[in-house]
Structure 1
Amino acid sequence: MAKRFTKSAINWVEFEKQVPPEQKTKFLAFKAKADMYLRRVQANPPEPPKINWEEYQKTVPVKGLVDKFKTAYSAFQVPYPTDTLSETVDEQWKSLEPEIKEFCAERQKDIELAQKELNRIKALPKFEDMTMETFYDVYPDQALDPVKRPTFWPHTPEEQLGYITPEQKAMKKGSH
């Protein structure tokens, strides 16, 4: 006989921690269905009901019919699938673990770079407190420099002398 489930094998608390907030409703619906299924399974008795074959022997007039049903009933086995895929899944998981660790290490490097950038940005003076001189000190390549790089108002690339449109650049590259 197959093993009877008495409780869920899923750690729902840990599972819920992994669910993103926008998926909570779907997760709760899934958990409700799983709990309902477990309750339906537990509502049935673990063993099939016992049949009083002697009572049927007395009431059924056809000889041998009850014996035939009795042997068929006792020989009947509910097929329970054997687990043939767990080993394959475990092997696949073991082969994927190094890739996962490598991916996590790369993402950790990205997180560290982003954290450094955030710390740098947080260290800047507030926008309201920043002057043009402070901006020039922090971003010398982006700030207006009327001495070394004079520009015309409105100080956009399109309004400057010698500006070449992207189409003109493409045409120059195509002619070479």
Structure 2
Amino acid sequence: MASVARRIKASSINWAAIAERVPENQKSQYLAFKAKSDGYLRRMLSQPEEPPKIDWAFYKTSVAVPGMVEDFQKKYDALKIPYPADNLTPQIEAQKQEAAKEVKEYINASNARIASYEAELAKIRAMLPFEMMTMEDFRDAYPDQALDPLNRPTFWPHEPEDQPDYEEETPQAEAKH
């Protein structure tokens, strides 16, 4: 696949979008980089798109060595500067597609979490306010947290660590070196 060199007419960089993301402490570095890039673009655009034409007839009459100008002209016309082949665009496109796929998966997972949180929020809003709840209402709303003296009797102050069957959680032993 032979790539053809193309003339850059203007910068394709969205400097405003980049400037929005540059932290305050790096503004000077950003401005220096932008100035360098703009300077390069100005120098490049100041050059002609095509190399200047050589007046071979003038040199044929001026150069005394026979055949030298014809030889130079033949070599000059045969000279083609190769433009580097673009081998990285397919890889970049594949990475772009993979990133888009990951973003879509993340958005779908986030939307599922949002839906579950909204359902939980709707359930909480539908409940009786805590100020108006009785102990029975609390037991009905939160059976795992409510005191149940008949089925699960506890001792005062009814904290897990104050109960007879409480076992203290031991931290994992550190790995030996």
The two structures have a TM-score, normalised by structure 1, of 0.54
Q: Does 1:42 align with 2:45?
A: yes
Deviation at 1:58, TM superposition (A): 4.7
Count of matched residue pairs:
157
1:10-25 paired onto structure 2 within 5 Å: 12=14, 16=17, 24-25=21-22
Deviation at 1:100, TM superposition (A): 6.8
1:53-68 paired onto structure 2 within 5 Å: 53-68=56-71
| Structure 1 partner of 2:5 | 2
Q: Give yes or no for contact 2:154–2:163 (8 Å, CA) kept in 1.
A: no
Unaligned runs of 5+ in 2: 173-177
| Residue 164 to residue 94, structure 1, CA distance change in 2 (3 Å) | closer
Unaligned runs of 5+ in 1: 171-176
1:44-123 paired onto structure 2 within 5 Å: 44-83=47-86, 104-120=107-123
In 2, Cα distance between equivalents of 1:4 and 1:92: 27
Aligned partner of 1:64: which letter?
G
* More helix as a share of residues: 1
Deviation at 1:77, TM superposition (A): 1.3
Query: In angstroms, what is the RMSD of aligned CA positions?
Result: 4.8
Which secondary structure does the structure 2 equivalent of 1:6 belong to? coil
In 2, Cα distance between equivalents of 1:101 and 1:67: 63
Aligned partner of 2:156: which letter?
F
In 2, Cα distance between equivalents of 1:81 and 1:146: 78
Aligned partner of 1:151: which letter?
F
In 1, Cα distance between equivalents of 2:84 and 2:126: 62
Q: Does 1:159 align with 2:162?
A: yes
Percent pairwise identity: 33
Deviation at 1:8, TM superposition (A): 5.0
| Structure 2 partner of 1:174 | none
| Residue 139 to residue 146, structure 1, CA distance change in 2 (3 Å) | closer
Q: Does 1:150 align with 2:147?
A: no
